[in-house]
Amino acid sequence: MSYIDFLSSVHKSTKRDYLARVNDPEYPKAYAATLAKKWDFDYWDGSRKVNYGGYSYDGRWAKVAKAMVEHYCIKAGDKILDIGCGKGFLLYDLTQVCPGVEVTGIDVSTYAIENSLPEIRDRVSIGNAKNLPFEANEFDLVLSLTTLHNLYAQELFPALQEMERVGKDKKYLCVESYRNEQEKANLLYWQVTCEAFNTPEEWNWWFRLTGYSGDHSFIFFE
């Protein structure tokens, strides 16, 4: 298991006003979170005061896809699973960086799957991280980016075990975390769907407990 930072450049490209997120009169934090957790239009393409504010393909994941293909020595014919694939932007970029790779994605959001990129729509489906409909060791690379922190503790345990089960030796996940009180406050201010609020040490405890052997990284709200 290694710490590999594929995502910080994407994460840090967004400017965040943490206090405004909490105190917005139109979308106060509790209301925004209630809308976001429906995983529907408001989460993906509604107001920025709720979440993405319009999540459309812009190529931002291409450099992440390239780095992953190079690091994990992905080649044509390899099978990749993305748990929490959203609209499939990373999966699409993986097919562009490595033609011939076989991609599969699942997400709990019906809206995201129905509005996924046409090029990979037949490769994505509605699914749940807690019970993956795949065989053991089916995938050469299993990914889960900014998804598993949205699970409660009783859901996180089977989700990590499932991720371990369906992958061979190459796995990578990225979750939100905090290292100090300021980052914890910022995370609480900004998040609208997070349920697992863990320090890096706590996340590593989860990995050991569930037998997750893959790579990982954390997103911090500095």
Residue 13: is its pLDDT beyond 70? Answer: no
Helix axes 200-210, 153-166, angle to 10 degrees: 60
pLDDT tens track for 171-183? 999 999 999 999 9
Domain positions in the chain are 8-220
The confidence score (pLDDT) of residue 33 equals 97
pLDDT tens track for 134-186? 999 999 999 999 999 999 999 999 999 999 999 999 999 999 999 999 999 99
Q: Which residue has the tokens 């030796």?
A: 169
Candidates 168, 174, 158; CA nearest to 79 is 168
Q: How far is C-alpha 59 from the chain's CA centre?
A: 17
Class of CATH domain 8-220:
alpha beta
Model pTM above 0.75: yes
Distance CA 209, CA 33 (A): 30
Q: Extract long-range pairs of 13-22: CB within 8 Å, 24+ residues apart.
A: 13/60, 16/186, 16/190, 16/221, 18/185, 18/186, 18/189, 18/190, 18/221, 19/189, 21/49, 21/189, 21/190, 22/189
pLDDT tens track for 103-118? 999 999 999 999 999 9
